């Protein structure tokens, strides 16, 4: 039952975010913020596919334990693409609120993103092992969490100051995604049921994509 539900859920998720991404790129009509938003959605969907597709195959065939390497590599790729997702979201913020001159902020974002990616690529993560060390799961998520907090603060302040109704809940969607993601990183190995939090986390990312898509349609 889990295999069927999770596989269907993942298919709907991946197809939805990639489709919305393509539609946003095609409908951006020279508006860079929506083009970047579309790219962001495609990066999200394609990156997650590297982990979710092997997981679905594993659940529907011989089990997760027989796909350790594929799942580990997929998780590593997803970790990198999720970082790029937030970098693109930062550039959406710059364009939407005309904050292109904030160079010190841009440098901080890139330093955090590159640090996160470097940490993800370190062999100590033991991506190919069934028992990856929790410590490195924490290390690589420290700069990622700081980056997420920055995005939340930037969008929260900008939407309040500019009365930007289409984007007014984007910060909340990001908060929900991290609130669901962090417990999984910390406790999922010890308490497998915590892994269920990935469902609301995924829904939060769909919400982020829909916010951008609806804003684009509303501005046509």
Q: For 88-131, what is each residue's pLDDT tens digit?
A: 999 999 999 998 888 999 999 999 999 999 999 999 999 999 88
What's the CA gap between 153 and 167, in Å, rounded?
A: 13
Q: Over 70: is that where the pLDDT of 11 sits?
A: yes
Read off the pLDDT of residues 150-188 as tens digits, 9 standing for 90 and up: 999 999 999 988 789 999 999 999 999 999 999 999 988
What's the CA gap between 194 and 158, in Å, rounded?
A: 33
Neighbours of 60 (CB within 10 A): 12
What's the CA gap between 2 and 63, in Å, rounded?
A: 12
Q: What is the mean pLDDT of residues 5-23?
A: 95
Domains in the chain, please, with CATH?
2-219 (1.20.1070.10)
Neighbours of 94 (CB within 10 A): 19
Q: Over 80: is that where the pLDDT of 1 sits?
A: no
Q: Name every residue whose Cβ is closer than 8 Å to that of residue 155 and which is 6 or more positions away in sequence.
A: 93, 167, 170, 171, 174
- If you count them, how many residues does the chain have? 220
What's the CA gap between 211 and 220, in Å, rounded?
A: 15
């Amino acid at each position: 039952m889990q295999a069927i539900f999770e596989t269907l859920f993942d298919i709907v998720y991946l197809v939805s975010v990639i489709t919305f991404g393509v539609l946003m790129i095609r409908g951006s009509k020279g508006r860079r913020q929506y083009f970047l938003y579309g790219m962001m959605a495609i990066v999200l969907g394609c990156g997650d596919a590297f982990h979710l597709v092997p997981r679905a195959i594993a659940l529907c065939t011989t089990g997760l334990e027989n796909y350790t390497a594929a799942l580990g590599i997929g998780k590593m790729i997803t970790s990198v693409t999720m970082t790029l997702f937030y970098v693109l979201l930062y550039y959406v913020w710059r364009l939407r609120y005309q904050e292109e001159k904030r160079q010190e902020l841009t440098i901080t974002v890139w330093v955090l993103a590159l640090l996160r990616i470097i940490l993800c690529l370190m062999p100590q993560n033991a991506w190919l092992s069934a028992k990856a060390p929790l410590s490195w799961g924490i290390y690589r998520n420290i700069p990622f969490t700081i980056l997420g907090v920055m995005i939340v603060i930037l969008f929260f302040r900008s939407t309040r100051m500019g009365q930007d109704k289409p984007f007014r809940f984007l910060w909340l969607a990001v908060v929900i995604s991290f609130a669901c993601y962090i417990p999984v990183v910390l406790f999922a190995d010890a308490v497998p049921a915590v892994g269920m939090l990935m469902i609301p986390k995924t829904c939060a990312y769909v919400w982020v994509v829909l916010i951008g898509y609806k804003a684009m349609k509303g501005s046509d």
